[in-house]
Chains A and B, each alone.
Chain A
Amino acid sequence: MTATMSQCLMNMVQTDYGIGDYQSAIAPRWCSGCGDTAILTAMQKLCRDEQLAPEKTVCVSGIGCASRLPHYMNAYGFHGIHGRALPIAEGIKIRRPDLNVFVTTGDGDCCSIGAAHWLHAIRYNMNMTVLLHDNNVYGLTKKQASPTSPKGLKSNTTPYGAALNPLNPLTVTLGVANVSFVAQAVDWIPDLLYDILQKAYHHKGFSFIRILQRCPNFMDHHFDEAVRDPLKTRILTHADGLRLKPEISRIYKNQETHDPINMERALALAAMQEELPVGILYNNPSVPCYDELRAGERPSTPGLVETVLNEEFDKVGIWPQSQPTPQAGE
């Protein structure tokens, strides 16, 4: 970050950020054993490793346990309203390309109340990183079924078991026009979570990570099978994708080389039932970004505003007879 360094030196602002520089004064108030903690740690590590200036970093969220994350980051945070994190983030980004925008959202927030925004955010493909904390249940409102809850889940709103099959955020995302980056991570393999987050951050466009995340209170033991049996996890590797550390490679032997431009295979992986794909399912860096498409040719200046206003006034102008009317013939 040379540019930042020289700028910072001039301004005598801190240049070398440690992990503590991204921790706010508020201690996380998630339940003990909550997967959100691992996601927060990965975020803070990423900021440190990329040396993101806290003032240039914005964490946007909706409502839910996951959406409390911005409070725990020392950055600009926007804890919004239920389901609307994405359009808020889009508004931030549309004229502020200098800001690093992260969105944290839960399965209810993103896939239920915010579903329309989610689909269109994929379509807009704005340059931001989206972390879907998916624990398959509503936590903050104390256990109701979420759109990703497994069929049969007993909850406060489904005391006899959830009636419907769960929505699959990965296949849905992959099915939307302009999709450019889709990955899946799990909170219990923090190294991979971090690597995936880093890849997502470096992707230009809308990078979407579904993070399976444990809720110790309302979905106790829900992911136990996947946590205990490494062979249930299929790690996606590629020369341009994740490079596994030896210790990860040793534990998670079920690996597949997957070229993330291969949509067909990505969809097949996303739909897998028996195994859990972890890694980058799809990555297409060539999809145009809405923020760039709508960036405008010239920056707004008072002179420009005056010129354009006068052009418009000319079109509907009435002039005193002493003044000539603009020529209409062109």
Chain B
Amino acid sequence: MTSDSSQPIAQDTPLPAAGSATGAKTAMRPAEVIHEHIIEIVSDSGEGAQRCGQSLASIAARSGMGIWTVEIIPAEIQPPPRSVAGASGNRVRMAAHKVTNVGDQADLVIAFNEQVLLSRLRAGEIKQGATILLEDMWKRDAHQPIADAYADVCAEIRAGGYRLIEVPMEAECQKYVPDPRKGKNMFVLGMLCSIYSLDEELAASQVKLTFIKKDRKIIDANLELMAAGRVWANDNLDMHYRIPAPPVEKPQVVTNGNAALALGVVASGMEVCAMYPITPATSASHYLSSIFEKVGCVVHQAEDEISAATFAIGASYAGKCAVTITSGPGLSLKQEAIGLAVMAEIPLVLIDVQRGGPSTGLPTKVEQSDLMAAIFGSHGDAPKVVMAVDSIEDCFYSVITARKIAETFNMVVMILSDAALSTAQQPFDRPVFSADWLAPPVNQSAVPPDAKPYDWDERTGIATRFIPGQPNGMHCLTGLAHDRNSRVAYDPKTNEEGLINRTRKLAALQKTLRLAPVFGDEEGDLLLIGWGSTRGAIEEAVTALRQEGHKVSSLHLKYLQPMASGIDEVMGRFKKVMTIENNWNDPLSDPLINSDNRRYSQLALLLRSRWLVDVDCWGKSHGQPLKPAQIKAAALAKLEQA
């Protein structure tokens, strides 16, 4: 827990070799051993704080620490420098154990100017008493208002009870490079390596990896700056921590959620990805574009979202199961095509990396509010499978599962990820390739005489698909109501037969699903139910609550449509049930709101309607990932309720 992260733990853990940084003028202070820390590095856009954070995280992960990184992204591509809105950087949570979420507030912040720092302070992202390392060049700025602003913020920070250390980052860097804007981040990385006792060689090898495509001179300059930062911190800072992490035992990989999705697409054997750029989904297709052609596949950037969806449907119809990757507004545009795939029973995998909505909403911010659109979107009765990813690793494997479900049931399978997972990085066990992951080759054998294209199985509703090229299988597929021969039919009986069978597939799939185990005791006072990216934060909150003696457990749903059976039994074993969701619900504190008109969070609404159970909800739509401390407070409030 971050709340006690600065508390020393067992001191028998051996301390790191003192004075490991080259050229240290003074003897290294012994390191204080801590469980975990959250570090934020913020700069103006383009100053390299993001790369600094990513590198720090990679070095920590390679040292065996659990990490979770989150990008701090301004909404504009190039916001005005030195502005509160312009904060760009990275938050790195490093721990002696596995980390599953963004954590609460930062313990240490490095800021390249005081304005970007202000944005983090005002957002409540920095812990009371946290250490702040601030670039001090602004106090000497020739432009008086800048110098004044710097002084004002410094005073505010000190008054606020933070520990402010002014650092001459630029001045130090100028000793080594002419333009400190290119390299200050590596100086800072060196400082952080000193502060957290990170291995020098490991750090150097990570920097070499980061700049692998650059000129040797650039790599050397960066290494020099990093060493300088380490030396400066050794000589001038009194902070020295060590996070004792067990060395990694199995090979691991560190990726963000979108890269994991892209790798999952490759591993699933899908051959076509049709997409249209949209934040925060796009980086998944960027990454896929860089590798997909190497395996003989294609990322098609369509002219619009509708085209992307229908292109994928065409490819899938022709036997090459396809994926389309999008985010909220794109999902809306794809809805008619999704209906077509449902009606024509064409397998289609759709990944929705959710963002704040409605409309263009909050493109770079977190929300999980497309659940209803995913389940009930499109018109008419359009049953489809909806699953949500709950970790970076899950992003990878879910795509493989989704492709299999799509092709087994000839259904649309939607994967809901979100902006919290898209850019967050976490290590997980390196996947070991299995040929079973891949799609089977396209079937081109002759269709048996008298076989029908929609010969729905009475038990499962599944029909064998005929793929172009298969002799005897010729038929005209249509989005109109049709009979087993794919002939257009408007009579009620045929229409109903189609509806029954398309729906029945969901029930057949549901029979194969297993509910995830309850996190915590099987019964108790309060059950928190979540879905998607909030899993790590919810479970961390539950762990903290249980350590304090509260009978709280959690249940995390992977499948939202259909839902695995047994949820009602689990809910029945708890006195109170509440969903934790990163979407809107009407707060009961609002004088207008009562049980007659309250709008519930999306999963809560589904659970209430299905099982007629009193499920409460707690959530936020503030554009940020839910934090363990917030969830813990909400659970405590619920426990105290009469």
**Is B177 close to A, CB under 8 A?**
no
Q: Nearest CB to that of B476 among chain A residues?
A: A77
Given A78-B476, A320-B249, A328-B208, residue A297 in contact with residue B293 (CB < 8 A): yes
Closest Cβ–Cβ distance, residue B347 to chain A (whole Å): 13
Tell me the complex Cα distance, A302–B437, Å.
Answer: 9
**Is A230 close to B, CB under 8 A?**
no
- Inter-subunit contact B320/A318 (CB<8 Å): no
- Inter-subunit contact A75/B266 (CB<8 Å): no
- B478: which A residues are within 8 A, CB to CB? 71, 77, 79
Residue in contact with B255 in the complex, picked from A84, A98, A302, A316, CB distance below 8 Å? A316
Stretch at the interface among B140-148, B357-365, B425-433: B425-433
**Is B472 close to A, CB under 8 A?**
yes
Residue in contact with B468 in the complex, picked from A56, A84, A309, A329, CB distance below 8 Å? A56
- Inter-subunit contact A318/B251 (CB<8 Å): yes
Closest Cβ–Cβ distance, residue A140 to chain B (whole Å): 12
- B303: which A residues are within 8 A, CB to CB? 116-117, 119-120
**Is A89 close to B, CB under 8 A?**
yes
- Inter-subunit contact A300/B295 (CB<8 Å): yes
Tell me the complex Cα distance, A56–B470, Å.
Answer: 8
Q: Nearest CB to that of B268 among chain A residues?
A: A305
Closest Cβ–Cβ distance, residue B205 to chain A (whole Å): 6
- Inter-subunit contact B212/A328 (CB<8 Å): yes
Given A77-B477, A117-B303, residue A88 in contact with residue B313 (CB < 8 A): yes
- Inter-subunit contact B254/A316 (CB<8 Å): yes
Q: How many residues of A contact B (CB 8 A)?
A: 67
Tell me the complex Cα distance, A269–B318, Å.
Answer: 38
- B291: which A residues are within 8 A, CB to CB? 308, 312
- Count A/B pairs, Cβ under 8 Å: 218
Interface of chain A: mostly helix, strand, loop or mixed:
mixed
Residue in contact with B253 in the complex, picked from A60, A294, A297, A316, CB distance below 8 Å? A316
- A294: which B residues are within 8 A, CB to CB? 293, 298, 300
**Is B302 close to A, CB under 8 A?**
yes
- A95: which B residues are within 8 A, CB to CB? 271-272, 298, 315, 318, 320
Closest Cβ–Cβ distance, residue B422 to chain A (whole Å): 16
Residue in contact with A96 in the complex, picked from B306, B311, B313, B319, CB distance below 8 Å? B319
- Inter-subunit contact A308/B476 (CB<8 Å): no
**Is A150 close to B, CB under 8 A?**
no
- A119: which B residues are within 8 A, CB to CB? 303
Interfacial residues of chain A within 61-98, with CB under 8 A of chain B in the complex:
70-71, 73-81, 84, 87-96, 98
Closest Cβ–Cβ distance, residue B264 to chain A (whole Å): 10
- A98: which B residues are within 8 A, CB to CB? 469
Residue in contact with B479 in the complex, picked from A79, A302, A306, A319, CB distance below 8 Å? A79
Given A95-B271, A310-B433, residue A116 in contact with residue B468 (CB < 8 A): no
**Is A299 close to B, CB under 8 A?**
yes
Q: Mark B414-432, 1 if CB is under 8 A from A, else 0.
A: 0000000000000100110
- Inter-subunit contact B296/A58 (CB<8 Å): no
Residue in contact with B267 in the complex, picked from A53, A73, A88, A309, CB distance below 8 Å? A309
**Is B488 close to A, CB under 8 A?**
yes
**Is B316 close to A, CB under 8 A?**
yes
Q: Nearest CB to that of B433 among chain A residues?
A: A306
**Is A321 close to B, CB under 8 A?**
yes
Tell me the complex Cα distance, A60–B476, Å.
Answer: 9
Tell me the complex Cα distance, A89–B296, Å.
Answer: 20
Residue in contact with B295 in the complex, picked from A11, A70, A94, A308, CB distance below 8 Å? A308
**Is B410 close to A, CB under 8 A?**
no
- Inter-subunit contact A84/B315 (CB<8 Å): no
Tell me the complex Cα distance, A81–B252, Å.
Answer: 45
Q: Nearest CB to that of A90 among chain B residues?
A: B311
Tell me the complex Cα distance, A90–B470, Å.
Answer: 20
Tell me the complex Cα distance, A318–B426, Å.
Answer: 11
Residue in contact with B252 in the complex, picked from A55, A93, A317, CB distance below 8 Å? A317
- A96: which B residues are within 8 A, CB to CB? 318-320, 468-469
Q: Mark B192-209, 1 if CB is under 8 A from A, else 0.
A: 000000000000010011
- A90: which B residues are within 8 A, CB to CB? 300, 311, 314
Interfacial residues of chain B within 385-439, with CB under 8 A of chain A in the complex:
427, 430-431, 433, 435, 438
- B300: which A residues are within 8 A, CB to CB? 90, 94, 294
**Is B155 close to A, CB under 8 A?**
no
Closest Cβ–Cβ distance, residue A112 to chain B (whole Å): 14
- A71: which B residues are within 8 A, CB to CB? 476, 478, 487-488
**Mind listing 5 A-B residue pairs with CB under 8 Å?**
A26-B487, A53-B471, A55-B469, A74-B474, A80-B340
In the complex, besides A55-B468, A91-B315, 5 extra interface pairs with C-beta distance below 8 angstroms are: A26-B487, A313-B430, A318-B427, A328-B209, A328-B212
| In the A-B complex, the 4 residue pairs with the closest CB atoms | A91-B314, A77-B476, A300-B296, A88-B314
Interface residues in chain B, defined as those with a beta carbon under 8 Å from any beta carbon in chain A: 61-62, 205, 208-209, 212, 247-255, 259, 263, 266-267, 269, 271-272, 274, 291, 293-298, 300, 302-304, 306-308, 310-320, 322, 336-337, 339-340, 344, 427, 430-431, 433, 435, 438, 446, 466, 468-480, 487-488
Interface residues in chain A, defined as those with a beta carbon under 8 Å from any beta carbon in chain B: 11, 13, 24, 26, 53-56, 58-60, 70-71, 73-81, 84, 87-96, 98-99, 116-117, 119-120, 294, 296-302, 304-306, 308-310, 312-313, 315-321, 323, 325, 328-330
